[in-house]
Amino acid sequence: MTNNKRVFERVTLGTAGLGGAWYPVDLEKSVDTIHYALEQGITNLDMAPAYMDAELIVGKALRQWEGEAPFLSTKVGKRRGRADKQGLSDYRVNSIKSSVDRSLERLGRDNIDLLFLHEPGEVPVSALNGVMDTLLLFKDQGLVKKIGLGGKPPLVFAPFIEMGYFDVVMDFNGYNLVENKALKVDFPFYRRNKLEIYEGSPLMMGLLGSRLDTYAEKTPKWLPLKTLERAMTLRALASKFKMSLPSMAHRYLMLDYNIDRMVIGPDNLEQLKATLTDLKMGPLDKQLTMEIIKIIEI
């Protein structure tokens, strides 16, 4: 267990898939998956009301768990719903307060270790001051210990970041095996302002996982063709080194100094076991890492 804890000390278990955000799941199996993660030494769990039943299953798992209490992060700003459902954003002050109350009840906690503002880019400018006042009030009241940005913040958040109001930022799709655009402006800005950096999508919405061929046949609007081509090249490179593309993606980030934590997002126990097995193999060797960097920088 001690060795596992060292391997997984920078790993956060994301629960969107386990909570049913993508498709219906067996909640009891999701509870078992969380127990397995805790048994293996993962000590950091991330969830959100928008991830369907993620908070409920984490709360149930923790009520049955007799080991050390994990670090919990959740979010405010989006209501419960499937990932493809529109119109879930709700940044009204009363809604945010009610959201935190429900999260505490579901999780069986008196406080939350880290509260993210979910998708800050969707916060209306007219609601910004009310949202910030409410987040800081939670911290003053001891309801949350840290405040984070759950997604890339727009420029309107820069003054609040520079004043030290936020502790953590979770990046999505800006830094992974196939993309490093966050290194140019975003990450340096976060570091200057002493933010911890979580990378929330190491498989880039499945591009580096099970959806590469699907995206190749029908490329989504958010995915640049150049990035898709890089992913195809990297899959061939992974095969050359006798590993899967997801394995290479996770191991590439696991000890990367550019981030503080990597958020993995298994849908089930089998996927979790596969990811943890990959991580136990350790970071990639220098030769492979250099070949990857050459591909990314093309």
The pair of structure tokens assigned to 249 is: 């993606």
- Please provide residue 14's backbone torsions phi and psi, each rounded to the nearest 5 degrees: -80, 145
pLDDT tens string 160-212? 999 999 999 999 999 999 999 999 999 999 999 999 999 999 999 999 999 99
The pLDDT value recorded for residue 3 is 64
pLDDT tens by residue, 220-278:
999 999 999 999 999 999 999 999 999 999 999 998 999 999 999 999 999 999 999 99
* Domains of the chain, residue spans: 2-211+246-281
pLDDT value for 298: 67
Q: What is the pLDDT of residues 40-79, one digit of tens each?
A: 999 999 999 999 999 999 999 999 999 999 999 999 999 9
Cβ contacts of residue 81 below 8 Å, gap of 6+? 50, 52, 88
Q: Are 294 and 254 in contact (CB under 8 A)?
A: no
DSSP string, 85-139: -S--B---HHHHHHHHHHHHHHHT-SSEEEEEEE-GGGS-GGGHHHHHHHHHHHH
Q: How far is CA 286 from CA 66, 156, 192, 252, 261, in A?
A: 40, 39, 28, 10, 21
Q: What is the reported pLDDT for 7?
A: 82
pLDDT tens-digit readout, 240-254: 999 999 999 999 999
The CATH code belonging to domain 2-211+246-281 is: 3.20.20.100
* Cα–Cα distance list, 207 to 65, 151, 216, 235, 290 (Å): 34, 18, 9, 10, 21
Whether the pLDDT of residue 82 is over 90: the answer is no
* pLDDT category of residue 2 using cuts at 50, 70 and 90: very low
Residues in the chain: 298
pLDDT at 1 over 60: no
Angle in degrees, CA 206, 212, 215, rounded to 5: 95
Residues 98-122: tens digit of each pLDDT: 999 999 999 999 999 999 999 999 9
Q: How far apart are CA 211 and CA 216, in angstroms?
A: 8
> How far apart, in Å, are the Cα atoms of 274 and each of 13, 193, 207?
14, 36, 17
Helix (H) or strand (E) holding 231: helix 225-240
Helix (H) or strand (E) holding 227: helix 225-240
